[in-house]
A and B are shown apart, each in its own frame.
Chain A
Amino acid sequence: MIIGDPISRVLYVDLSRKRFWVKDRSELFEKYIGGVGAGIHLLMEECPQGIDPLAPQNPIILAVGQLNGFFPIASKTVALFKSPHTGNLGESYAGGRSAIALRMAGYGAMVVKGASDLPLYLVVTEDGVEFRDASVIWGTSSSYTVGRVIREREAGAGVRTIMRIGVAGEKLVTYSCVVTETYRHFGRLGLGAVFGSKKLKAILISGRRSLKPVDYKLYREVYQKIFKALTDSGIMKKYHDIGTAMNILPLNELGGLPIQNLTSTRFEDAEALSGEAFAQNHLGRRVACAHCPVSCIHIAALREPYVHEPYFYKTRMICYDYEPIYALGTMLGIGSREGVLKVIDEVERLGLDAISTGVALAWATEAMQCGLVGEGETGGLKLNWGDYKAYVKAIQMLAFRETPLFNALACGVDYASSVYGGREFALAFGGNEMPGYHTGPSAHLGFLVGARHSHLDAAGYSLDQRLLKSGEEASAGKIVEELFQEETWRQILSSLIVCFFGRGVYSPVTVCRALKVLGYQLTPADLEKLGREILKRKFEFKFREGFSFKKLRIPERIFQTPSPHGKLSREFMEEALKLYEEKVKALLGNL
């Protein structure tokens, strides 16, 4: 680590007493590189065992890593907290300008504790923290407006991040998100509700500084190589041209795209919802996270007439990606692009996680169809596949927790189905709603066993597709091995913190070279060991908070609807689960 690098500074903020202080934590940032590696230690220290995730004692840890600010596509911040959605490890990442802003403000991490009596927002600079009254913007119906107000009022344009919550966070919806730079999110696992429980509307962080590498010459050289690989090679083409929405058509063709609560996997309107069609008809602007040349952020321009004012139009700029199109499009059977965009926009305005919201509404639609819930429970609202207007209304009712059904749904499908039934088609894994991949056993196993129950823990969807291509019949043991390896390696990327879209460029050798610029002498084997250690810490936290492999529920639906690997078998999944549990046990025992 560079001597004197401000990354070792951790900013502690106590919202109850409106105080802050800075501690040097070089030992953490030196050994664990930063990011999730350092963050999980801070979470262990700060989060008392067994607390209610919405209690003031639940800390919010925001951390960046050694490569942030130094190398391109190291653009992410990690948030760690106890999740109000799963009651366990909360771990979520966002880009935008968050990581650069925190690094340039001169901190490696921020720990936010306590709760305020009045709504407030924080302004963080290298000089520390200012506590600002947010009572006027508390309750503002749109997260866009919150951004606008703070942006106008505060300094630092261009070198700041504004993380904020919407109404859903204030109402403690357990999968409400934190929005940053309008279009990026700490999406999953309910960071928004933790903000809300602390009466924390937003955090603005800004800073400008210059960091001195250990080896200047090597720095420019390694930088140049990484930059070239990110921009010249085909590796990034997929994210660059069409964006993540590029995956709609191939996954549909493969039969791995979940439709209408995973009752099928082929969508007749897939063409209309393809990344290509979105680009051709709506793409209005491309944006990038700070220090990322890829610009995967695709923003649609949706022009609409005002109903009561002829010749008045508004143009909404709405960000689309694969996951929202899946969750708020195909899962709800919406085949019109305009319809999908309007639903996405509502989710964005209110500050919800797109995936959980879509899966929750898909469950509710099916529950309504089979009579588990009726109009009495939905306040007269009828939910039918494809009826996007009804879904926009439902999202509002969800965020405001109107009617007992939407109030229950605001805690996720696991909870709602425990009240109303329909467990077999409640698509949650480890309490977290399913991402858009029914590609085979690896995807689902990944959702189950991944430390944050996300498709990004170990990218099982990618393994499924690779196995499909090679035609190999993989054993449960082989899948378990591959997922475990991948999740281990991803702890390193998540500590640096490099965006996973850059994982093809940041190989272990490249990471070692990049770290050398900062004075590290590490080998790929060292990184692997470190990755295992970080994963171990995460599982220690999970077990401390009551996680158990035995309690994992596998929704019957995934065994009913065929995947590209054919019908999945429960026996196979249970065998794999057992093997994974053994692996994790060995990990916990052996380090």
Chain B
Amino acid sequence: MSQRGPSRRLEVVDVDLCVGCQCCMFACNRRFGEAGLLKSAIHVRSAGGFERGLIVQVCRACLDPPCARACPVDALKVRKAGGVTLQPAKCIGCGNCVEACTVGAIFWDGEAGKPIICVYCGYCVEFCPYIVIKLEPLREEVS
């Protein structure tokens, strides 16, 4: 991984490779040095039973993100090339963004009363055993 942070986004390469181990979720939570699932910005669940495969939910770094539009206090700053950055000090914890995300990629941290949104750091990628997810350059850089 060459570059982290704002110039990258997380991409689901091939969901059919996913085994549902949730190592990515535990990794994301470990960004804060903690164990568990509450603070994970990526979520993996079965598509109605393991026999039917899996679904990986994570921020797609939209160009015109509906979550930002739904935020009444502009706590979600839109990044130039797509995606948002949460400004926790502004956030009033209303949860509108969670409702607004079409792909259900915003989660709720009940402890902090704030949304959890991917920061495109790529830590999870290092723990996915099957290269289901990877960090991609943002669209602007691609073009």
Q: Tell me the A residues contacting B by CB distance below 8 Å.
A: 69-70, 72, 100, 104, 144, 147-148, 151-152, 157-159, 181-183, 208-213, 216-217, 219-220, 223, 227, 231, 285-293, 295, 297, 299, 317
Contacts A151-B48, A216-B33, A291-B26 given; indicate if A286 touches B19 (C-beta within 8 A).
Answer: yes
Question: For residue A207, which residue of chain B has the nearest CB?
Answer: B37
In contact, B45 and A299 (Cβ under 8 angstroms)? no
Give Cα distance in the complex from A217 to B19, angstroms. 28
Contacts A157-B45, A208-B38, A290-B21 given; indicate if A181 touches B33 (C-beta within 8 A).
Answer: no
In contact, B49 and A148 (Cβ under 8 angstroms)? yes
Interface residue count for B (Cβ, 8 Å)? 30
Does chain A have a CB within 8 A of B86? no
CB interface residues, B 25-59, toward A, < 8 Å: 26, 29-30, 32-39, 43-46, 48-51, 53
Give Cα distance in the complex from A183 to B35, angstroms. 26
In contact, A104 and B36 (Cβ under 8 angstroms)? yes
In contact, B46 and A211 (Cβ under 8 angstroms)? no
Which of A69, A148, A157, A285 lies in contact with B35, CB distance below 8 A?
A: A69
Can you name 21 A-B pairs with beta carbons within 8 Å? A69-B35, A72-B26, A144-B49, A158-B22, A158-B43, A159-B37, A181-B46, A182-B50, A210-B36, A211-B34, A211-B36, A219-B30, A219-B35, A227-B23, A285-B50, A287-B19, A288-B20, A292-B21, A293-B21, A293-B129, A295-B21
In contact, B35 and A299 (Cβ under 8 angstroms)? no
Q: Tell me the B residues contacting A by CB distance below 8 Å.
A: 19-23, 26, 29-30, 32-39, 43-46, 48-51, 53, 110-111, 127, 129-130
In contact, B127 and A209 (Cβ under 8 angstroms)? no
Which of A151, A181, A223, A317 lies in contact with B30, CB distance below 8 A?
A: A223
Give Cα distance in the complex from A231 to B130, angstroms. 10
Min C-beta distance of A443 to chain B, whole Å: 31
Question: For residue A148, which residue of chain B has the nearest CB?
Answer: B49
Chain B residues near A69: list those with CB within 8 A.
35-36
In contact, A209 and B36 (Cβ under 8 angstroms)? yes
Give Cα distance in the complex from A227 to B130, angstroms. 14
Contacts A157-B45, A183-B50, A291-B21 given; indicate if A208 touches B37 (C-beta within 8 A).
Answer: yes
Min C-beta distance of A300 to chain B, whole Å: 11
In contact, A70 and B49 (Cβ under 8 angstroms)? no
Give Cα distance in the complex from A227 to B35, angstroms. 14
In contact, A295 and B35 (Cβ under 8 angstroms)? no
In contact, B20 and A287 (Cβ under 8 angstroms)? yes
Chain B residues near A223: list those with CB within 8 A.
30
Give Cα distance in the complex from A297 to B110, angstroms. 33
Known: A152-B48, A213-B35, A216-B34. 5 other contacts (CB 8 A): A72-B26, A158-B45, A183-B50, A210-B34, A210-B111
Chain B residues near A299: list those with CB within 8 A.
50-51
Give Cα distance in the complex from A438 to B111, angstroms. 54
Give Cα distance in the complex from A317 to B110, angstroms. 37
Give Cα distance in the complex from A317 to B111, angstroms. 39
Question: For residue A288, which residue of chain B has the nearest CB?
Answer: B21
Question: For residue B31, which residue of chain A has the nearest CB?
Answer: A220
In contact, A213 and B34 (Cβ under 8 angstroms)? yes
Question: For residue A101, which residue of chain B has the nearest CB?
Answer: B37
In contact, A211 and B35 (Cβ under 8 angstroms)? yes
Question: For residue A295, which residue of chain B has the nearest CB?
Answer: B19
In contact, A288 and B33 (Cβ under 8 angstroms)? no
Chain B residues near A183: list those with CB within 8 A.
50
Question: For residue B32, which residue of chain A has the nearest CB?
Answer: A210
Give Cα distance in the complex from A481 to B25, angstroms. 42
Give Cα distance in the complex from A100 to B51, angstroms. 20
Which of A152, A158, A286, A293 lies in contact with B44, CB distance below 8 A?
A: A158
Min C-beta distance of B17 to chain A, whole Å: 9
Give Cα distance in the complex from A157 to B22, angstroms. 13
Give Cα distance in the complex from A285 to B50, angstroms. 9
Contacts A157-B45, A286-B19, A291-B23 given; indicate if A182 touches B36 (C-beta within 8 A).
Answer: no
Chain A residues near B36: list those with CB within 8 A.
69, 104, 208-211
Give Cα distance in the complex from A183 to B50, angstroms. 8
Min C-beta distance of B126 to chain A, whole Å: 9
In contact, A210 and B38 (Cβ under 8 angstroms)? yes
Give Cα distance in the complex from A158 to B33, angstroms. 22
Min C-beta distance of B133 to chain A, whole Å: 14
Min C-beta distance of B1 to chain A, whole Å: 15
Min C-beta distance of A162 to chain B, whole Å: 10
Chain B residues near A210: list those with CB within 8 A.
29, 32, 34-39, 111
In contact, A148 and B23 (Cβ under 8 angstroms)? no
Give Cα distance in the complex from A390 to B35, angstroms. 50
Question: For residue A219, which residue of chain B has the nearest CB?
Answer: B33
Question: For residue A184, which residue of chain B has the nearest CB?
Answer: B50
In contact, A147 and B49 (Cβ under 8 angstroms)? yes
Q: Which has the most chain B C-beta neighbours within 10 Å: A159, A289, A297? A: A159
Chain A residues near B50: list those with CB within 8 A.
181-183, 285, 287, 299
In contact, B48 and A148 (Cβ under 8 angstroms)? yes
Chain A residues near B26: list those with CB within 8 A.
72, 291
Give Cα distance in the complex from A216 to B30, angstroms. 9
Chain A residues near B129: list those with CB within 8 A.
231, 293, 295
In contact, B34 and A72 (Cβ under 8 angstroms)? no
Min C-beta distance of A215 to chain B, whole Å: 9
Question: For residue A183, which residue of chain B has the nearest CB?
Answer: B50
Give Cα distance in the complex from A211 to B46, angstroms. 24
Chain A residues near B43: list those with CB within 8 A.
158
Question: For residue A213, which residue of chain B has the nearest CB?
Answer: B35
In contact, B22 and A291 (Cβ under 8 angstroms)? yes
Give Cα distance in the complex from A100 to B35, angstroms. 11
Question: For residue A316, which residue of chain B has the nearest CB?
Answer: B51
Chain B residues near A295: list those with CB within 8 A.
19, 21, 129-130
Min C-beta distance of A355 to chain B, whole Å: 22
Chain A residues near B48: list those with CB within 8 A.
148, 151-152
Give Cα distance in the complex from A72 to B53, angstroms. 22
Min C-beta distance of B139 to chain A, whole Å: 29
Chain A residues near B23: list those with CB within 8 A.
72, 227, 291-293
Chain B residues near A231: list those with CB within 8 A.
129
Chain B residues near A212: list those with CB within 8 A.
33-35
Chain A residues near B110: list those with CB within 8 A.
208
Min C-beta distance of B73 to chain A, whole Å: 25
Which of B29, B39, B45, B53 lies in contact with A285, CB distance below 8 A?
A: B53
